């Protein structure tokens, strides 16, 4: 007795392929958006470090350090416009810039305003 196998209908594999394609596209665009926020958090962390050691550095040195950090992170030119304000026992460091995120059929500019306050 010989058993004959039935040919497989290709619908289930195409459905799986389409699902994988959608997941890959979502992952790709999530990485693009996530990269923008990761750079923001790294820049903010650099601002916190500079604010923490503000008693050891003058404003020009802090500004140079943060401009170098912004350049290293490939942030837009606006991120290099850093404001530093010192009060009696406090320092406030801030910046203001936009990052462009391009998704299919959609472009968005995200506004970032990192700000750090530290007492010394």
65, exposed or middle or buried, with CB in 10 Å at 0-12, 13-18, 19+?
middle
pLDDT 10s digits, 95-114? 999 999 988 788 999 999 99
> Cα(92)–Cα(86) distance, rounded to whole angstroms?
6
Residue 19 lies in a domain: no
Assess contact for 117 and 90: CB atoms under 8 A.
yes
68 against 32, higher pLDDT: 68
pTM: 0.80
46, exposed or middle or buried, with CB in 10 Å at 0-12, 13-18, 19+?
buried
Q: Where are the beta strands (DSSP E) in the chain?
A: 83-86, 90-94, 97-103, 106-112, 115-119
| Domain with 109 in it | 38-119
CA 24 from centroid of its chain's CA atoms: 20
Average pLDDT over residues 70-83: 96
pLDDT score, position 67: 97
Residue 55 lies in a domain: yes
Per the structure, the count of domains in the chain is 1
Residue 50 lies in a domain: yes
């Amino acid at each position: 007795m010989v058993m004959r196998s039935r040919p497989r209908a290709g619908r289930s594999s195409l459905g799986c392929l389409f699902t994988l394609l959608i997941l890959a596209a979502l992952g790709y665009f999530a990485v693009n958006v996530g990269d923008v926020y990761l750079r923001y958090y790294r820049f903010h962390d650099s601002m916190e470090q500079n604010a923490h050691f503000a008693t050891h550095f003058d404003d020009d040195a802090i500004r140079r350090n943060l401009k170098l950090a912004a350049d290293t992170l490939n942030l837009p030119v606006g991120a290099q416009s850093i404001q530093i304000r010192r009060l009696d026992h406090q320092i406030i460091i801030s910046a203001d810039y936009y990052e462009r995120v391009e998704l299919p059929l959609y472009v968005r500019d995200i506004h970032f305003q990192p700000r750090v306050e530290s007492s010394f």
